[in-house]
Amino acid sequence: MKILRIIISLDPAGGGPAEGIRRLTEALTRAGHTQEVVTLDGPDAPFLSSFPGKVYALGRPGRSLPQGGGRLRERFGFTPGAADWIRQNRDNYDAVIVSGLWNAGNLAARLGLAGYKRPVLVFVHGMLAPWLREFNSPLKHWVKQLSWLVNEGVLLRRADRVLFTSEEEMLSARKAFVPYKLKEEVVSYGTGDAPKPSTHYSQLFRDKFPAIGDRKFFLFLSRIYPKKGCDLLISAFARYASEMPDVDLVIAGPDQIGWAAELKQQAARLEVGHRIHWPGMLTGDLKWGAFYASEAFILPSHHENFGIVVAEAMACGKPLLITDKINIWRETLADGASLVEPDTADGTDRLIDRYRKLSGSEVSKMSENARRSFLSRFHIDNVAGDLISLIEKVSVEKSNAHSA
């Protein structure tokens, strides 16, 4: 089977969807299928050279699509000719999958896929979550409601399936915009396996960031962004720092809106700045080294549709300290892989307090459970098989409908 994936950008700084597409492309290839990607990045974007499949980058050379701030036109990613490219090439594929909302890739997909006879699926990637309405300004919400009426809503209503990665995400999305009448489906999601455990990875990370030395640490690895609860994490760490004198905190990830400076000031005021480390965005062996070197993975997010980094931490056998706003919290809790609390200051405090009181055997058990849960629920090879089965089912439905 040959699949076309449409996404505004494959920049890894944009978060989980780009990484998910990368890993799924590898898994589909192993299974004998092909996934090619059309993106609005510039063709010379440096992160495209390592992508494991064919990419059609339709943006102008030198283009960089801001993942945080930036001009509205650039964030939207307007690309003349993208819809025409999709219309001219769509019949070369057995199915098309659109990833994400609220960008010019959606506009190109809506226009370019009109009248397409083969399966069209849309992954919303948490972009219909109530969090967006609660934290955005009323004006921004109504701008999106207008866009929903003329573009995103039209694309999703025409799609053969709108894909969610958990029932919780699907149910909450129904409150986002009107009218809402979609062909919903909850599908499995995940990522590739971690490399086999080795002291090489941990030592590589510690050598790169010598200020950490041999100290133990909690790992936050995600975008440095208000939605992720970094401010709550710093406050919670400061609360218990004196009771954990041998444990530091690593906050790793891209700083898209320049928030890190304010967070560092917060840490200094709370007198824990010297015990918080900021290695920036981590990829490849350094990322795996951070996971393997850490004591536990912590993410006090206000919303996380799935959380590729959560699954990566599980692949490394790391206990999870997460909130009940991460949509796979029920699964990880049921499998004994996580401690879960609300996304509040008190909840984040309790995550650290509960973990520091665990015995060594309890931590070891959580580690074993995390690895086991990843293999059974979130390994990308399982995801690839489920996706192909869904496309085949939709193809039969469409064929029967056309012949009726």
pLDDT in tens, the chain (404 residues): 999 999 999 998 877 889 899 999 999 999 999 999 999 999 999 999 999 999 999 998 987 665 544 444 444 567 889 999 999 999 999 999 999 999 999 999 999 999 999 999 999 998 897 665 666 667 888 889 999 999 999 999 999 999 999 888 898 899 889 999 999 999 999 999 999 999 999 999 999 999 999 999 999 999 999 999 999 999 999 999 999 999 999 999 999 899 999 999 999 999 999 999 999 999 999 999 999 999 999 999 998 888 899 999 999 999 999 999 998 999 999 999 999 999 999 999 999 999 999 999 999 999 999 999 999 999 999 999 999 999 999 999 998 887 76
Alpha-carbon dihedral 164, 230, 316, 218, rounded to 10 degrees: -160
Q: Alpha-carbon distance 151 to 222, whole Å?
A: 30
Residue 136's pLDDT is 60
Residue 331's pLDDT is 93
For residues 87 and 111, the answer to whether their CB atoms sit within 8 Å is yes
Residue 69's pLDDT is 43
**Residue-range domains of the chain with CATH:** 2-191+380-403 (3.40.50.2000), 199-378 (3.40.50.2000)
Instruction: Locate all alpha helices (DSSP H) within 125-259, ordered by sequence.
Output: 130-135, 138-147, 153-158, 167-173, 199-208, 230-240
Instruction: Provide the residue type at 365 as one letter.
Output: K
Q: Alpha-carbon distance 170 to 162, whole Å?
A: 9
For residues 367 and 318, the answer to whether their CB atoms sit within 8 Å is yes
**DSSP-assigned letter for residue 377:** I
Residue 166's pLDDT is 87
Residue 365's pLDDT is 98
